[in-house]
Structure 1
Amino acid sequence: MQGPLLTSLTDDLDRNAVRVGDVTLTRGELLGAAAVVADAVVGRDVVAVNGSASMETVVAVVGALLAGVPVVPLPADAGRAERDYVLSDSGAQMWLCAPGCAIESGLGTHEVDITARADAPTVEPDPSDIGIILYTSGTTGRPKGVRLPRRALAASIDGLADAWDWTSDDTVVHGLPLFHIHGLVLGMIGPLRVGSPLIHTVRPTPAAYAAAGGSLYFGVPTVWSRVCDDPESARALSSARLIVSGSAPLPVPVFEKLTELTGKPPVERYGMSETVITVSIRADGERRPGWVGHPIAGVSTRIRGEDGRLAPHDGETLGELELAGPTLFDGYLGNPEATAEVMTDDGWFRTGDIAAIDPDGFHRIAGRESVDMIKSGGYRIGAGEIEHILLSYPGVREAAVVGVPDDDLGQRIVAFVVGDVERPDDLIDAVAKDLSVHKRPREIRVVDGLPRNAMGKVQKKALLEGA
C-alpha cells in the first residue's frame, strides 16, 4: 500500500472512523480535530501523550502524526518517577491530554478538544521520519526509547493486511491500552491506514466485545481467557471473521475453548516494540496452537544456536530468533551502545526470543532468552513447552515456569501455577510423562495469581526475585 501513513482519513469523510466507548468521530471529524492538535505541536521535536483509553488520545496521536512530530505515548496510570524519566529522556516539549489532566512537568500543555476543527496539513512527512517513540518495559535497566519510523509502522500494517485479508470492509474491535504496539499501532493506526472502522471498548470485557458486532477482534490471552469464562459472550463472536491474539503466548486450553465456543480458531501473531508485528498466521492458513505462523511480506527470519551458528529449521531445534526487514526500529533514542548490542554485523535484529522454525517456515516462540531458556543439569530447556503441558492439566488456569539458581543443576525448574490443584506433585509426573524426565519441574508452587504487566505478559523476573 502506498500513500500517507493514515491513508483512509481523507477519503469518504462522512464514514465513521473511530468509536471509543460512547463517543464516535467520522473521518472528517477526526481529521478536523487532529488538525487543531497538529497546529499546536508543529515545529516541536517530540511531544508526549497521556495514553488514556479515550478519544482525546486518538486525536492527539493522529494530530502529532499529521504534523510529522514524533509522539511518545505514556500509560495513563504511570507513576510520577516513570513519567518524569520518560519525559526527560525523550526530550518531549509538550504534553497532550484530555481537558483537566495537566501535570506538573514544566512542559507546555495542550488540552485536546475533540469538537474543535481546523484544516489538516497537506504535506505528508517523509516515511523515514520517526513517527512514535515507545519506551520498553525496562526489564534490564531503565526503559529505552524505541524509535519507530513511519515506514516501519506502515510496512507492518500492510503486511498484516495482506496476511489477514484485512480491508475497509472490516470493523476492528478491541479494548487494549493505547500506549503499546498492540493497541496503539496495530489497533488504532492500523484501522486508520486500512480504512476499517475501529470500535474501542475502553475496557476489553467479554460483554463489550460481544456487543460490538465487529469482524476483526484483537485481544491478549487474559482477554480471551475471560471471554471463554463467559460462554454467552464468546458465542456472540462466532460471526467474527478473525479472532486475533498477541502480546503473549495463548495457552492451548484457551485456544481450544475459544475455538469450541466461537467456531473460529484464533489467529496468533508475533512482534515486539523494536520490530512492530513481523510474523503471523494467515487468514487462509493453518491455525496451530502454540505457533505464530510465517513472516509477513518483506520480513526475513532465522535462528541462531547457542554455539553462534545458524540453526536448522526442523521445527525442534531452538535458537535466538533474528529478524530483518522494513518493520525494524531506527535504534534506541540516545543509546547507540544498546542499539549495537541488539544488531548483528550483517544488519539483523537479535530479538532475545527463543524460537523454532519448521521446514515450511512456521514459527514457534519458546520464550525470552533471559528468563525462558533454562539450563538445568546440562540440558537447554524452553519454559514454554513445560507451561503448555501444565496448562493442559485439569484445574490449572495459569502457569509460569522459571529457572531458579541451583548449586547442583545450575538452574532448578520451578513452576508457579494458579488453579485448583490438590496434588501438585502430579503435575511433575505429567510433565515427565509428556515431555522428558529432565524437563520436569523440581518444585510446584500453587499461588493466587501471577504478576503481569498491562499487556498481560507474566513478569517472570518478579517471580524469580520472590523465589
Structure 2
Amino acid sequence: MMDAMTLLAALLEGGLDDPEAIRVGDTTMTGPELLGAAAVVADQITERPSEGPVAVLAEPTARTVVAMVGALLAGVPVVPVPPDVGAGERAHVLADSGASLWIGERPPEISLPVRKVDVRQRSGDPARETPHDGPALVLYTSGTTGAPKGVLLSKAAMGAGLDGLADAWDWTADDTLAHGLPLFHVHGLVLGVFGALRIGSKLVHVGRPKPAHYAAAVRDHGASLLFGVPTIWSRVAADPDAAAALRPARLLVSGSAPLPVSVFEQLRERTGQAPVERYGMSETMITVSVRADGERRPGWVGVPVAGFETRLASTDEETEGELLRHDGETIGELQVRGPGLFDGYLGRPEATAETWTADGWFRTGDAAVIDEGGYHRIVGRRSVDLIKTGGYRVGAGEIETALLEHAGISEVAVVGEPDDDLGQRIVAHVVLAGDPVDPDEVIAFVADRLSAHKRPREVRVVDALPRNAMGKVQKARL
C-alpha cells in the first residue's frame, strides 16, 4: 500500500518517463515534463497575494492537469470550476470557497488575480508535494436543495480510495488508462488523472467522449482500461464498429449513474466483455465495485473495495436506523465507512453533521439492496430531488431556483425521467405567471445561469402542481 499522504506517488518517484506517458488531446508529456511545468504553477500559487484555495478552470486540457498537479505540489486546496458553468453558479463557487487565485482564461466578471499555464515552462527546482493533511480538493456538488456545497477531500482520502480501486481492478503501471470525462468531478479528475499519476499507468484523455475517440485510444495508444458514464457507453454500444475496436481492452468501467441493462448486454455482445460497474459519491470516493475477477451482473455494482464497509439501515419512521438483512431483496439506506470519506462540507457544519450516524457511518441517501455474498444493487435516491443525467448528479432545487427567476414562471417542479441515452433527463413542470413562454427560451435561460448539463431537456406547462395537504409538491405524481 502506498503512502496516502503522497498522492501522486508514481509521478514523484520518476515514473511515467515514456515520451507519450500523458496525452491530453493533442498534447503529450512525460512525467518529468509534467512535474517541471507543475512546479512553475506551484511557485505562482505560493506567491499569491492572499491565503485561500485556488480556482482552476477545469477544461479537458493539459493546462488543467498541470494546474491541478501544481496546486497539490503547493499544498493548497484547489477548486475545479466547470468550463460550462453559468456566471451565477461560478460566482457562488468562488465566493463560497474563498478562492484567492484564478488559474486559466479569465471570464469577464472574474476580479481575482489570474495566472495562466504554459505547459512548455519548466522549473529548475526538484518538484515535491508539500506536506499537507487538510483538504486538498474542494469539489462542488449539487444536493437536493439550494446552491452547490463544497465537498472537502484530503490527499489521504483520495489515496485510500485509489488504492482500493487498484486492488479491485488489478490496476497497475502496465495499464494505459483512457477516458473523455470532465476534469471537475471525482470520476474524471481523481480516478481519471490522479489515479494514473499515483499508480503509474499511462494516461490518454480523448477530449470529447465520442465512440470513435475511445476506439482510437485502444487502437492507436494501446488503452487497456477505459472509464465512461452510461451515456458514453450507450453511444459506444450503438456504434458496432467502435464497440468492436474495444475488444483488446482489459476492462471497461462504468459509473456515476446506473447502466441500463440493455446497454450492458450490447457491450457484452459487441466488445466481447461485460462492463465493470461501480458506485461512489464525491463525499466517499468509490466505495463499492465489481472486481476485475468478479462476477459481472447487470444492475449490480459489486462489493466494498479494500478498506471500506457498508450496511443497510431502515428509513421507516417506526424503525429508522435499524440495521437490515442482506438478502438481495430488502431495501434500505446504504451507509458506508472507511478511509476514503470526505472531511465535511465547506462552512456547513450542520449539513455535515446531518450526513453521519451517531456511530460514525456516512448516510449516502441512496436506497440499495445487498445480497448474501455482499453484492450491492443501487435502487435509487431516497429523495426524488437528486437527478443523475449523463453521469452528472444534479439537484432539482437548484434548477427550480433558477427557473423561478424567469418573469414568465410563477411555480415550478423539476423531476428526472428515464432516458435511454442520459440515464435521466431533466423535465421542468412550470405554471405560467401570465403570457405563454417559449420552452427553448426557458431552457436557454437556465443554461445561462447554471452549467449547461443542468438545463431542462423538456419544459411542460401545467395549470397547477399537485400538492398534498401541507402544500408540498407531490413529485411522484409528475
Instruction: Using structure 2 for the length normalisation, give the TM-score.
Output: 0.78
Asked if the contact 2:85/2:451 (under 8 Å) is kept, the reply is no
1:284 aligns with 2:293: yes
Asked if the contact 2:86/2:451 (under 8 Å) is kept, the reply is no
Q: Which amino acid aligns with 1:14?
A: D
**Cα offset, 1:120, TM superposition:** 5.3
Q: Which amino acid aligns with 1:31?
A: L
Listed as ranges, the matches of 1:263-342 within 5 Å are 263-306=272-315, 307-308=319-320, 309-342=322-355
**2: CA distance, partners of 1:36 / 1:29:** 11
Aligned residue among 149, 160, 171 for 2:165: 160
**Cα offset, 1:174, TM superposition:** 0.3
2:404 aligns with none
RMSD: 2.9
1:443 aligns with none
**Cα offset, 1:17, TM superposition:** 3.2
1:174 aligns with 2:187: no
1:78 aligns with 2:85: yes
**2: CA distance, partners of 1:367 / 1:53:** 30
Alignment gaps of 5+ in structure 2: 389-395, 397-414, 421-445, 461-474
**2: CA distance, partners of 1:347 / 1:314:** 24
* Aligned-partner SS, 1:303: strand
**2: CA distance, partners of 1:270 / 1:417:** 19
Aligned residue among 5, 8, 11 for 1:6: 8
**2: CA distance, partners of 1:159 / 1:168:** 15
Listed as ranges, the matches of 1:15-30 within 5 Å are 15=18, 16-30=20-34
**Cα offset, 1:121, TM superposition:** 5.7
Q: 1:458 to 1:287 in 2, by over 3 A?
A: farther
2:189 aligns with 184
After superposition, what is the alpha-carbon deviation per residue over 1:43-76, rounded to whole angstroms, capped at 9, x for unaligned?
6431000011111110000000111110000100
* Aligned-partner SS, 1:131: strand
1:47 aligns with 54
| Count of aligned residue pairs for this structure pair | 398
* Aligned-partner SS, 2:384: helix
**2: CA distance, partners of 1:465 / 1:56:** 44
**1: CA distance, partners of 2:133 / 2:206:** 32
Q: Which amino acid aligns with 1:106?
A: S
After superposition, what is the alpha-carbon deviation per residue over 1:396-438, rounded to whole angstroms, capped at 9, x for unaligned?
xxxxxx9xxxxxxxxxxx995558xxxxxxxxxxxxxxxxxxx
Asked if the contact 1:191/1:197 (under 8 Å) is kept, the reply is yes
* Aligned-partner SS, 2:168: helix
1:69 aligns with 2:76: yes
**2: CA distance, partners of 1:323 / 1:297:** 13
**2: CA distance, partners of 1:265 / 1:191:** 23
Asked if the contact 1:146/1:273 (under 8 Å) is kept, the reply is yes
* Aligned-partner SS, 1:238: coil
**Cα offset, 1:104, TM superposition:** 3.0
After superposition, what is the alpha-carbon deviation per residue over 1:111-157, rounded to whole angstroms, capped at 9, x for unaligned?
00100001456553446321100011243111110000110100010
**2: CA distance, partners of 1:205 / 1:264:** 20
Q: Which amino acid aligns with 1:2?
A: M
Aligned residue among 189, 196, 201 for 2:206: 201
1:349 aligns with 2:370: no
1:216 aligns with 2:225: yes
**1: CA distance, partners of 2:17 / 2:335:** 44
Aligned residue among 359, 365, 377 for 1:364: 377
**2: CA distance, partners of 1:84 / 1:123:** 32
Q: 1:273 to 1:462 in 2, by over 3 A?
A: farther
* Aligned-partner SS, 2:383: helix
Listed as ranges, the matches of 1:225-236 within 5 Å are 225-236=234-245
**1: CA distance, partners of 2:109 / 2:451:** 24
List structure 1 segments (4+ residues) > 6 angstroms apart after TM superposition. Answer: 451-463
Q: Which amino acid aligns with 2:72?
A: L
- Structure number with higher relative contact order (C-alpha < 8 Å, ≥ 6 residues apart): 2
Q: Which amino acid aligns with 2:75?
A: G
Asked if the contact 2:39/2:127 (under 8 Å) is kept, the reply is no
Asked if the contact 2:53/2:97 (under 8 Å) is kept, the reply is yes
* Aligned-partner SS, 1:346: coil
**2: CA distance, partners of 1:327 / 1:269:** 15
Q: 1:182 to 1:242 in 2, by over 3 A?
A: same
After superposition, what is the alpha-carbon deviation per residue over 1:302-334, rounded to whole angstroms, capped at 9, x for unaligned?
010122201101110000010110000001101
Q: 1:149 to 1:220 in 2, by over 3 A?
A: same
* Aligned-partner SS, 1:370: coil
